[in-house]
Amino acid sequence: MNLNRISNLAAAATLFAGFAFAQAPNPTQTNIPDAANGPYPVFRVTGVSRSVKAINYNHRQGSTVVGFAGTSYAAKAKGEARVDSKTGATKVDVYFEKMPLAQTLGNEYLTYVLWAITPEGRAENMGEVYLDGDHAKLLATTELQAFGMIVTAEPYYAVTQPSDMIVMENVQITKESGSTTGTIGPIETKFELLQKGVYNTLLPAADRNLTKNDRSDSPLDLKEARFAMAIAATLGARRYAADTMKKADTELYNAEAFWKSTKDKKKVQSLARNVTQLAEDARLITVKNRQEEELAAERQLSVQKVTAANQEADAQKLQRQRADELKMQADRDREAAQRAEAQSAEAAQAARNNAEKERLDAVAARAQADQSKMQADQAKMQADQAKMQADQAKMQADQAKMEAEKARLEGQRQLDEQRAAANIERQRLEAEQARMKGLADASELALQKAEAEKLQLREDLRKQFNLILETRDTARGLIVNMSDVLFDTGKYTLRVAAREKLAKISGIILAHPGLKLEVEGFTDWVGSDELNQKLSENRAASVRDYLTKQGLPEDTVTAKGFGKANPVADNTTAMGRQKNRRVEMVVSGTIIERTMTISKTPAQN
């Protein structure tokens, strides 16, 4: 391979993507957000439940031996390890034989890695199993005391997540020359594995050929370095960890040039292994930075949704107040129309009374005329005058009758006009009331929509929390449950896994101002009441202190211990006691509380 070929390999490495979420360190792997919308593909892991023999190598109890048996992938493989538990560390000296070349199990596999699996399912890389022919030796150390061991085929030695290509598992030895000592027990634990073929499926064709078509005499460490660089570059490390990748490119260039010029395997192996470690560091930096980008985008989107919902709710409130004012004005107009109608009726009645009075006056006048005529017979000399007076009186009476009839007709006309006007006004008011009712119904619908969005936000938060820790929705709020395994045994010190999960929880809460937390600690019934009460208070306080250090306001987070009160499971069983040892975070706040019951809309009614 010439120097131009080396440069082309370094450039082609930038095409590989997606390994970000496949090998992020345990135990947060499955909680990484989906980055499918980004420029890089994503590898996924599959949780596999396996029965592993875990051994507690009792502290400072001397050394013991443990065997290894091959799986269906390497049926003839076998081995033995001597485990020595001393102060500060456990030493493991292993020997394997009859192992096939890793690449015979798949083009993407170049080497083997020895893993320690804890009872909680956490995997720790104990070192590369470097073949010499078909056998290998490895001297490793670990801080663990109780663990099982497996050997997997991997693309390079510095991986942090085991593949599902398990070729050997530890087994108990019982023989005269030496037997396994220690506390031995089967542990059903679920640990995450990369499926076979995932590299060849998602790697660009140029990078797949790095292992498939490489039949050169290059050292295995150099091949691993090339493959590790391709994985990190395709993930996007040249963007998210540019400085580290630049150093790795330089180291890889030097290793390739040194191998071409000197063929010194020891020097090339030293350079290549440093390249592999730099590539893995760049991959982990990229995982962290991509997570932070996605969380920041999610927080910004949540803030925008809450702001829009609040603005719409305020607008609907103003609209409903306006509708109430218009309704009150319509009621006042209706009362005024009713008073006007009553006044018109009184006026018409007065006109009728006047007409009747004038008619009676006319009758009286006619009676007086008749009396005058009778007097005319008695006084002939006054007859003409009386007749003239009578005719005049009659004319006046007729005129009065006509005036009375005219007044009656005019009063009737005015009454009819007033009734017609009142009827028109009543119809207008009824139409206005119907319009006001429509506006009120629309305002009610808007309020229901705002409440529905608040409930949707509550459900969205529950789902986000549930991706990190078990979360349930209760009348008190969203209760996020932290199990006992996230603390050191019998202590209140937060483990690394617990801090990572709490950091994600705090990030979500910071994105939603208005939320508050009540941290509550609980224990099982083992031990005294005073000891359990103190432990529950300390664990709750540890969680509260860590959350406030992540930026949560101190006045929004409280902590309280309840000791062995309020168990959620049977304390007579180990499983029940483990469930009772917990810390619960009650998430509440006005932005997610239920303030009304959403009813049917007017159209649905």
- Amino acid (one-letter) located at 36: A
- Amino acid (one-letter) located at 49: S
What is the architecture, at CATH level 2, of domain 47-202? Sandwich (2.60)
Q: Which residue's structure tokens are 């009872």?
A: 119
Overall average pLDDT of the 296-324 stretch: 88
Given a contact cutoff of 8 angstroms between Cβ atoms, the answer to whether 376 and 386 are in contact is yes
**Could you read off the pLDDT of 559-569 as tens digits, one per residue?**
999 999 999 99
Instruction: Spell out the domain ranges in the chain.
Output: 47-202, 307-453, 469-589
The verdict on pTM exceeding 0.75 is no
| CATH fold group of domain 307-453 | Helix Hairpins (1.10.287)
Predicted confidence band of residue 99 (pLDDT cuts 50, 70, 90): very high
Nearest to 94 by CA among 62, 134, 59, 141: 141
DSSP state of 494: B
Element (H, E) at 26: none
Overall average pLDDT of the 248-267 stretch: 88
**Could you read off the pLDDT of 429-452 as tens digits, one per residue?**
888 888 888 888 887 887 788 788
pLDDT at 54: 77
Predicted confidence band of residue 120 (pLDDT cuts 50, 70, 90): confident
Q: Cα(254)–Cα(7) distance, rounded to whole angstroms?
A: 11
Q: Is 102 helix (H, G, I), strand (E, B) or coil?
A: helix
- Let me know if domain 469-589 sits in CATH 3.20.20.150: no
Q: Cα(498)–Cα(28) distance, rounded to whole angstroms?
A: 10
List Cα–Cα distances, 467 to 302, 463, 477, 581, in angstroms.
Answer: 17, 6, 17, 21
Residue 194: CA atoms inside 13 Å, Cβ hemisphere, count?
30
Quote the percentage of the chain above a pLDDT of 90: 32
